[in-house]
Amino acid sequence: MISPFSVETVLALTQSGAKDETAEEIRAGLRLPNSTEKTESVYASLLPNLRGNEHYALHTANKIYVKNSYPLNEGFKNIASNVYQSGIENIDFSQKTEAADSINGWVEKQTEDKIHNLIDPKSLGEDTRVILINALYFKGKWVYPFEPLATNKQNFYKTASEVVQVDTMHNTDLYYYYESPELNAKFLQLPYEGDDVSMVIVLPNEKEGLAALEGQIENVFAAPKFSLERVSVSLPKFTIENKVQLKKILKNLGVDKAFTDEADLSGIAGKKGELVISDVVQKAFINVTETGTEAAAATAGVFRSSKLFFAEFAWFDVHIVNFSAVEFDPEFDLKTFVADHPFLFYIKIKDIALFAGRVSSPTLV
């Protein structure tokens, strides 16, 4: 599981301080707009409006921790504060435990105590200069909740031959639904209260079809040709907590110079080659139940006096509708959607991918 939004936010802020080929590689790898100015314009419009309402909770926050007496570029500080709404705080990274506790405490507060120990004290040191952090929290209720009394133990096929019993939720209602012959998979959109947020489940038709589906991941996240159908849904309750190191992903995306002494992050601080990224790490959490979903993530980019890395983001263009206005038509043919084997999911709000992941075992923690 990963939060594309959280990763991209940290890296978008980073590219605001990157120059020349270093900046170009980040923008190309992350599919950001083709200039720093355009990227900043997107975030200047987006962040003030990415908030919860009376229907769901949504909170995102950015923070920059800077080594005591380390001078950040004034222009970068202005962009961080005015565009990315980031706080800036000086800290003594040489006091590893105290510094990690302070940073992790901020993350816990921003994520409603769902993300812990994002920063390992061992990752800090005398050469740590800057840490950029994004925190994200979401909690929403289904428009069509699952009846708790209907939840029962059913088989979940981790593989065609490995079966476990899991708590499985059931409901029949009107959902946006699509069957893709090209991907050999079914799509189901589960709306949350609030009209502009939903979870999409992508279920391969074959019990061991997840690998093939992930091999066509760009097509998976293209806009499905949804139609409104009456669907009988069986979905396991699931909880996922994980930590992802993103260096390998970023290198595969072509973000290379930022990891070397050729990195030019002089827009953040120092001269070309002086500041590099040593690590980008994310922790994420999700809990899906009969009433809705609670999810959180936090991403940290750690900058040292030499090495760099980032992660992939996708803007998923999935149609979201006002489900509260949909009327039930008894003449709809009944479709079935039984998620009894590994599947993919993603959560979108205002056409932004907040979270995405796979469920290969609903009891995964």
CA distance 106 to 132: 12
Q: Could you list the residue range(s) of the whole structural domain that residue 339 is in?
A: 142-237+316-359
- 9-56 tens-digit pLDDT: 999 999 999 999 999 999 999 999 999 999 999 999 999 999 999 999
pLDDT of residue 311: 28
Residue 161 sits in the same domain as residue 187: yes
pLDDT at 342: 97
Residue spans of the chain under pLDDT 70: 306-332, 363-365
Q: Are residues 333 and 229 in the same domain?
A: yes
Provide the 10 A C-beta neighbour count for residue 283. 24
For the chain, the domain total comes to 2
The model's pTM:
0.91
| 133 shares a domain with 80 | yes
**Encoded tokens for 255:** 């973000």
Whether residues 293 and 224 share a domain: the answer is no
Q: Is 56 in the same domain as 177?
A: no
Write out pLDDT tens, residues 99-113.
999 999 999 999 999
What CATH number is given to the structural domain containing 108?
A: 3.30.497.10
Spell out the long-range contacts of 208-212 with Cβ–Cβ below 8 A and sequence spacing 24 or more: 208/159, 208/160, 208/341, 209/184, 209/185, 209/341, 210/341, 210/342, 210/343, 210/344, 210/358, 210/360, 212/184
CATH number at residue 345: 2.30.39.10
Is 59 strand, coil or helix? Answer: strand
Angle between helices 4-15 and 20-30 (to 10 degrees): 160
